[in-house]
Amino acid sequence: MKTLIINGSPRKNGDSMTLVNEMIKYINGEVKIIHTYYDNISPCVDCRFCWNNEGCCINDNMQEVYKLLDEVENIIIASPLHFSELTGKLLSFASRLQTYYVRRCIKKDIEFKLKKKNGVLIITGGGDGGPEPAIKRANIIFRHINAKTIGTVFSLQTNEIPSKENNEALRKAKELALELNILSNKS
């Protein structure tokens, strides 16, 4: 079983990564983490290369991610809320999925779909401003990459209770990790 984790937080040991690491403790198989703030993934610049060619012409680490997105059984997206949204770097990462949209909707390759996968969303927040915009955007990302969400881990009061002390969030992270293992054994 292969799992790709997209970390939208700039804090490699912060609240979102605490919950990611809790999942990693229990997930079987290979795990690859992409840190969107540090792993050299540029935003889409709407050059429209993908309108007439396969894939994306920006030569950065997203090329490896494109391969993984068609290989993995699971995807985990983790983000703190920044102004109730996924972080800017995560949205910038998401813009590179435009090549999939173009293939289906501009080039009319309606049969095109990435490998089916299970998805988990992790959202953390200090306590001000609700998570709805971030959840909506994450669902768009999951749709673009053919992922079915099996659940979400929330830790939304981190100013008062950091994720590492949020037993309910830690419990949910473990539960969803075990669920991914079960679902992979069934398929």
Ligand X SMILES: Cc1cc2nc3c(=O)[nH]c(=O)nc-3n(C[C@H](O)[C@H](O)[C@H](O)COP(=O)(O)O)c2cc1C
Compute the least distance from the CB of residue 16 to ligand X, in Å. 3
Compute the least distance from the CB of residue 174 to ligand X, in Å. 18
Cα gap 55→48, rounded to integer Å: 10
The backbone torsions φ and ψ at residue 145, rounded to the nearest 5 degrees and listed phi first, read -110, 15
Q: Binding string to ligand X for residues 102 to 131, with x set by CB under 6 A, is what?
A: ----------------------xxxxxx--
The yes or no reply on residue 133 touching ligand X (CB under 6 A) is no
Q: Return the number of the residue (3 or 7) whose C-beta is nearest ligand X.
A: 7
The yes or no reply on residue 82 touching ligand X (CB under 6 A) is yes
C-alpha dihedral, 40 to 44 to 45 to 47, nearest 10°: 120
72: which residues sit within 8 A by CB, 6+ positions away? Answer: 2, 3, 4, 32, 115, 117
The yes or no reply on residue 64 touching ligand X (CB under 6 A) is no
Compute the least distance from the CB of residue 155 to ligand X, in Å. 7
